[in-house]
Amino acid sequence: MKLAFLFPGQGAQAVGMGRALAEAFPEARAVYDEADATLGFPLSRLCWEGPEAELRQTVNTQPALLTHSVAALRLVEKAGIAPQWTAGHSLGEYSACVAAGALEFRDALPLVRRRGQLMDEAGRERPGTMAALLGVEAEAARLICDRARDLGVVVPANFNAPGQVVISGERKAVEGACRFAEAFGAKRVVMLEVSGAFHSPLMESASKALAVELDRAAIHDARCPVIANATAEPAQRAADIRAALKRQVLGAVLWEDSMRRLLELGAEGFVEIGTGRVLRGLLRSIARGAGSWNIEDPQTLGTALGELGVQRLPARSA
């Protein structure tokens, strides 16, 4: 089966994430030990014990999600399963780059922590917010944002699935766009608890500073293509992956288009690796019949491996 590995982004985090894998499998525990040593503080304790408010801080959330995804990925790799493509939602694109061999985990960790710092700082410099528009299609979301621009900066930020678009920008403009969406016939609008207007022009300072960090980062040609958020097209050369990551902070996440592109390329199954199963839910809205699995703990790992026809890994206390 031709598989695409998918990796979740910010918002999926939860206290306890990854603990069961680390307790059952030494390989997963080793990933958390490496993260603690690389970052110089006990990220593992924060992931497993909280407090939730601290885990929710962008600077911590991003390396936490990356680490859980890589811990689960190492077990999938041990089972002998390899992807033909990878993709990740926003922050998850860095996990996708690790899975494709374009980034080493030890290099990705400080990079995503710095990304989180820069995005948090940009959110304080130019405050903003985000909202989910449910029951609103992509073109309608663009028109709604255009109508609200007299109130300030507001743009579509995530095209997640049919009828699910997230908008981002200055609070007054986002709230105005939400009112327009309700008048337009949106089923529901949901203001999101975020520390900034991600994937909007308000992140310009973060984008510029992160571009400098990305120029310094050791990025390699990937073993398999990574579907870029900003283009929904495969990138495999190091230069193309670096350029895609630079575009990502300001650009919209073209997730629906990315999944459709994977289907066009021949993807037969999708494996969501890391915290939660949000991406599987979005996939069902895009391609209901597509085979999908999620792997975040020993139970889901065993189920996925069994259904993919792979022998389960022996677990033991780490």
Catalytic residues: 90, 199
Mapped onto helix, strand or coil, the DSSP state of residue 81 is coil
Distance of CA 205 to the CA centre of its chain: 21
Q: What are phi and psi of 170, to 5 degrees?
A: -70, 140
Distance CA 159, CA 106 (A): 31
Measure the N-to-C terminal CA separation of the chain; round to a whole number of Å. 32
Beta bridge partners of 253: 158
Distance CA 240, CA 293 (A): 29
The residue whose two tokens read 């909202």 is 131
| Nearby residues of 275 by Cβ (< 8 Å), 6 or more positions away | 8, 12, 13, 14, 17, 18, 65, 68, 69, 296
